[in-house]
Amino acid sequence: MATNFLSTANLFHLASSSQSSVSSISTHVYNNPIKCNVKRQLTLCKVVNPSVTKRGISISFVTSLVLSLTGKGLFDANAAILEADDDVELLEKVKKDRKKRLEKQGVISSSTKETGYLQDLVYKLSEVGQAIEKNDLTSAGSVLGKGKDTDWVQKANIALNKLSSSPEEQSEVDTFNSSLASLVSSVSQNDVESSKIAFVSSAAAFEKWTSLTGIVGKLKGL
């Protein structure tokens, strides 16, 4: 407290001294006028302006700092909002995908007859593959019959179309049927190499379809 009091007293003393000095200088100037040329006036202005400029720079700096901090806060807030929106969208997508999977599993579980058709398709393709591997196209032809008009092929397509719920799944069904038609044609022409290529293509399309639909775990022999 004593220190504060002394500091205050010193300030008053300095202020008083400064006022006396200014008064003395003013009286001296008034009594002894000095001719100031333009060059000296400019010099005095240059001496005065830096203090004003420093004060202006200080104010500008503080203003810029506040604006930058405010802007950063707004940026962080906007980023947080966008991130939250992304999280919500991702969560909604996960929920929709899970709902679709459950619905698909429900359809598959209730499609006992169609699952049986597909299991028979697996067995028939296995027979055809074994026959082609032995170059026995006669046996392969007896299983394939007329292709799309054969009973097990027709039933398989009933199941394939019922359980396909996306363009990608339907695309694999189309590939399977196209490859199967090529297989029937190659076997009927007794073309072993073309028969092997067509068989691999049809089997691959069917296998991919079972993976896409999720029914692969319900079929034996894949």
Closest to 178 in 3D by CA, of 155, 158, 153, 159 = 153
Going by C-beta distance under 8 Å and a sequence separation of 6 or more, which residues neighbour residue 132? 140, 187, 192, 195, 196, 199
Q: What is the CATH number of the domain that holds 158?
A: 1.20.120.290
Question: Is residue 108 within 8 Å of 218, Cβ to Cβ?
Answer: yes
Residues 95 and 118 reside in one and the same domain: no
Q: Decide if pLDDT at 176 tops 90.
A: yes
Residue with tokens 């029937």: 184
Please indicate, yes or no, whether residues 66 and 153 belong to a single structural domain of this protein: no
pLDDT-derived band at 180 (thresholds 50, 70, 90) equals very high
**Does residue 9 fall inside a structural domain?**
no
pLDDT number for residue 105:
65
The answer, yes or no, to whether residue 116 has pLDDT greater than 50, is yes
Q: Compute the distance between CA of residue 80 and CA of residue 160 in angstroms, rounded to an integer.
A: 46
> How many angstroms separate the first and last alpha carbons of the chain?
94
If asked whether residues 190 and 165 sit together in one domain, one would say yes
CA–CA separation, 53 and 160 (whole Å): 82
From 70, 102, 134, the end of a domain falls on: 102
Q: How many domains does the chain have?
A: 2
Give residue 91's domain range: 37-102
What is the pLDDT at residue 53? 53
Q: What share of the chain has pLDDT > 70, as a percent?
A: 56
Per residue in 18-46, pLDDT (tens digit) is 444 444 434 444 444 444 444 444 444 44
**CA count, 13 A, side-chain hemisphere, 143:** 20
6-10, 21-25, 100-104: least confident range = 6-10
Residue 112 pLDDT? 87
- Read off the pLDDT band of 162 (50, 70, 90): very high
Confidence of residue 87 (pLDDT cuts 50, 70, 90): confident
Mean pLDDT of the 96-109 span: 65
Predicted pLDDT at 91: 72
Of 21 and 214, which is predicted with more confidence?
214
81 and 155 assigned to the same domain: no
- 124 shares its domain with 85: no
